[in-house]
Amino acid sequence: MSEGRTDRIINIDLEAPSMGPGDVNAEHERRVAVADLLESNSFRPNGEAVGPFDLRLAIEGDRLIFDVRLEDKSPVHGFVFALGPLRRIIKDYFLICESYYEAVRDAPLAQIEAIDMGRRGVHNEGSTLLKERLVGKIEVDFDTSRRLFTLICSLHRRTPT
């Protein structure tokens, strides 16, 4: 439990230009990622601010926005990242997720497990890249990075390209 810790996110808002409903599987992944993130995370922006923190994640144009605020909504720092380095991994992740969801319908268990292993591998690759991109700005653990990557994917899926 992260209750009482100051290096954590206690609220997360997701913003995309077209925040309409995604597909059922993507919506489920997003809800699980938000719940898991709020249940347990490690998040510490560099600097003097002491949390817990409120985070707004958004995609604006080709930029990923981390708007970090304190619990009372006072600003801590806004971080802006180019989406370019994540695009290939996000695209690969979407493709393998489509294959996985199709396989779940009628493929043999061994094939589903193989695709799922690939899906987790691509997800880990994206999480590692995100964690590396945050170095010097926001310190996160790997599990927090995984959940944030899932949420970035859900925002990217809803953003017109």
Number of domains in the chain: 1
In a domain? residue 16:
yes
**Can you tell me the distance from the alpha carbon of 57 to that of 52, in angstroms, rounded to the nearest whole number?**
16
Asked if residue 64 is part of any domain, the answer here is yes
Residues 6+ apart with CB under 8 A from 155: 14, 15, 16, 57, 58, 59
Which residues does 79 contact at the CB level (< 8 Å), separation at least 6? 45, 65, 66, 68, 134, 137, 138
In a domain, 60, yes or no: yes
Q: 75-111: per-residue pLDDT in tens?
A: 999 999 998 889 899 999 989 888 988 898 899 999 9
- Beta-bridged to residue 59, according to DSSP, are 64
**Range(s) of the domain holding residue 26:** 9-158
Give the relative orientation of helices 84-106 and 142-158 as an angle to the nearest 10 degrees: 90
> Per the domain annotation, does 2 fall within a domain?
no
Query: What's residue 155's pLDDT?
Result: 84
Domain-located, residue 4: no
Residue 3 lies in a domain: no
Q: Note the pTM of the prediction, 2 decimals.
A: 0.86
Which residue has 């997360």 as its token pair?
A: 12
Average pLDDT over residues 3-25: 75
Q: Give 17's pLDDT tier (boundaries 50, 70, 90).
A: low
- Stronger pLDDT, 60 or 19, i.e. the higher one: 60
Residue 141 domain-assigned?
yes
Q: What pLDDT, in 10s, does the model give residues 105-161? A: 899 999 999 998 999 999 999 999 999 999 999 999 999 999 999 999 888 765 444
pLDDT at 158: 53
